[in-house]
Amino acid sequence: MRKTVFTTVIVFLCLSCNLFAQSQKDAKPWARIYLSGKFGIINQNGFETVKPEYDMLSDFNKNKANVAKDGEIASLNNLGQKMPYAPENQDKGKVRPFSEDEKWGLKNDKEVVLCQPKYQYISKFDGGKARTFLNGKMGLISDKGIELIPPTYNYISDFEKGKAVVYKDSTCGLVDEKGVELVAPVYEEIEKIKSDHYLILKNGVWGVLDENGHEMIAPQYAAIFKCKDGYKTLKDGKTGLLSDEGKLMCEPAYDAIFNQEDNLFIVVRNSAYGLLNKKGKEIVKPTYQFIDKFDDSRAFVLKDGLWGMINNDGVELISPQFNAIEKTKDNCYKVYKDTKQGIVSKDGVVLVEPKYHAIDIF
C-alpha cells in the first residue's frame, strides 16, 4: 500500500512539474532581453522562451518576430519556434524589399530600384524609416533608399520626437532621424522623460540629459525614481527632488520627502519636519516634530509636544501651544488646553478662550 501511495505522489509531482514547465513555455512573449550583445525573449513569468542567442530580434507583428543569427535570417512564432523568413508587408503604394542572392534591397511601387540588394534584413517602414541588418549590426534606411545609419549598432529603438536610443555592445547612445549620433554609446541605460529629456545610468549612478544630449545633471545619484510630482533622487542615504523634466529642484538633503499637496512638499530631516514649495525651495526649515496633511491650505503642526497651525506659506497662524486641535463647523477649530476647550478662527484669531470643559457648535 505504501509503495502504491509513494508511486502516485511521484507521478503527481512529475505531472505538476511538466504542466508548470509547459505553462511557462506557452505564455505569450512579453519582453525582449539583451545580454552580451545577444537578444532573446521572456514571458511574464520571467521564463526565457527564447534564450539570448540572436544577433537581432525585431518587435512582434501579427504574432511573428524576425531574428538573425550567424548571418541567417528567420522568423519566430509566439512559442519561439523558428519559421522561414518572409519580409514584412509594407503599406500599399509604399516601397517594398526585394531579394537577390539572399540579400535585400528596395523597390518602389513602380518597380524602380531605390537600393541595391545588400542587406540581410529590412524591417517594415515606420515614419519613412526602416531598420536594416548586416553582419550582426543594425542600421537605418529611408523610404527613398538612402542609408541614414550604416549597420553599426546592435539595436536601434523606435524614434520618439526625432530621436532613438541605440545600443552598441553593452552601452547606449542617441541618434536623430538623419543618423547623426547626438550622444555616443557611453551609458548603461537611457530612458526618455518629459520635455525630450532623458535619465541616464553610467557606472552604476544616475543623471539627466537635456534635449540636446548634454548632461544637465552628471551621473551621481544611487537612484532616480518616479513619484507623483516628478522624480525623487537618492544619494548617500538622503533624498532630493527633480521636476517632471528632470530639472534639479533640491539636492538630496532630506531623510524623506512626501508627495506634493497644496503645492507643497513635507520633508523630514533628523526626525524634524519642514516644507518645500513646488519649486523645491525650503520655506519652513525642518523644526517641527510633525506636520499633518494640508486641508483648506492649512496644516496642524507639532512642536515640543504642543499643537499649532500653519498656512501654505509656512506662516504660523496658531503657534504651538495647545494639547490638541480639531477642525469643527463654521471654519473654526476647537482647541484644547489642559482640561479646557476654546475656539480659534481659521486665521488663528482666538474667538473663545480655552476656559470651558466642553464646546459643541450647533
Query: Chain centroid to CA 242: how far?
Result: 14
Please enumerate in sequence order all residues whose Cβ is within 8 A of that of 185, keeping only pairs 6 or more positions apart, or say none: 153, 166, 167, 168, 169, 171, 172, 173
Q: Is residue 192 part of a domain?
A: no
Report the range out of 31-35, 36-40, 45-49, 220-224 with the highest average pLDDT. Answer: 220-224
Q: Are residues 172 and 262 in the same domain?
A: no
- What pLDDT shows up at residue 261? 87
Q: Residue 17: pLDDT band by 50, 70, 90 thresholds? A: very low
pLDDT in tens, 249-275: 999 999 999 998 889 999 999 999 999
Looking at the 3D structure of the chain, how many domains does it have? 2
Write down the pLDDT at residue 126: 86
pLDDT mean over 39-60: 92
Q: What mean pLDDT is predicted for residues 14-40? A: 69
Lowest mean pLDDT among 70-84, 148-162, 231-245, 308-322: 70-84
Instruction: Answer whether residue 231 is part of any domain.
Output: no
Flag whether 228 is in a domain: no
Position 105 in a domain: yes
Q: Are residues 164 and 266 in the same domain?
A: no
**Mean pLDDT of the chain, nearest integer:** 89
Q: What torsion, rounded to 10 degrees, do the Cα atoms 149, 154, 157, 161 define? A: -40
State what percent of residues in the chain have pLDDT above 90.
70
pLDDT band of residue 90 (cuts 50, 70, 90) is: low
**φ, ψ (nearest 5 deg) of residue 310:** -120, 160
Mean pLDDT for the stretch of residues 42-61: 91
For the chain, the three-class secondary structure string (H helix, E strand, C coil) is CHHHHHHHHHHHHHHHHHHHHHHHHHCCEEEEEEECCEEEEEECCCCEEEEEEECEECCCCCCCEEEEECCEEEEECCCCCEECCCCCCCCCCCCEEEEECCEEEEECCCCCEEEEEEECEECCCECCEEEEEECCEEEEEECCCCEEEEEEECEECCCECCEEEEEECCEEEEEECCCCEEEEEEECEEEECHHHCEEEEECCEEEEECCCCCEEEEEEECEEEEECCEEEEEECCEEEEECCCCCEEEEEEECEECCCECCEEEEEECCEEEEEECCCCEEEEEEECEECCCECCEEEEEECCEEEEEECCCCEEEEEEECEEEECCCCEEEEEECCEEEEEECCCCEEEEEEECCCCCC
Residue 118 pLDDT grade (very low, low, confident, very high; cuts 50, 70, 90):
very high
**Which domain does 259 fall in, by range?**
255-356
Same domain assignment for residues 151 and 291: no
Of 138, 158, 186, which closes a domain? 186
**126 and 262 share one domain:** no
Average pLDDT for residues 191-216, to the nearest whole number? 95
Write down the pLDDT at residue 62.
Answer: 80
179 has a pLDDT exceeding 50: yes
296 vs 24, more confident: 296
pLDDT band of 22, cuts 50, 70, 90: low
pLDDT of 93 reads 58
Average pLDDT of the segment spanning 122-127: 88
Q: Does 24 score more than 60 pLDDT? A: no
Domain boundary among 166, 186, 206: 186
Does residue 23 belong to any structural domain of this protein? Answer: no
One domain, residues 43 and 175:
yes
Judged against a pLDDT cut of 90, whether residue 12 lies above it is answered with no
Domain boundary among 186, 201, 220: 186
C-beta separation of 314 from 298 below 8 A: no
| Residue bearing cell 511574464 | 44
Which residue did the predictor score with more confidence, 220 or 20? 220
Question: In the chain, pLDDT over 70 holds for what percent of residues?
Answer: 91
The grid coordinates of residue 258 equal 512626501
pLDDT at residue number 92: 55
- 180 lies in the same domain as 267: no
Name the more confident of 16 and 83.
83
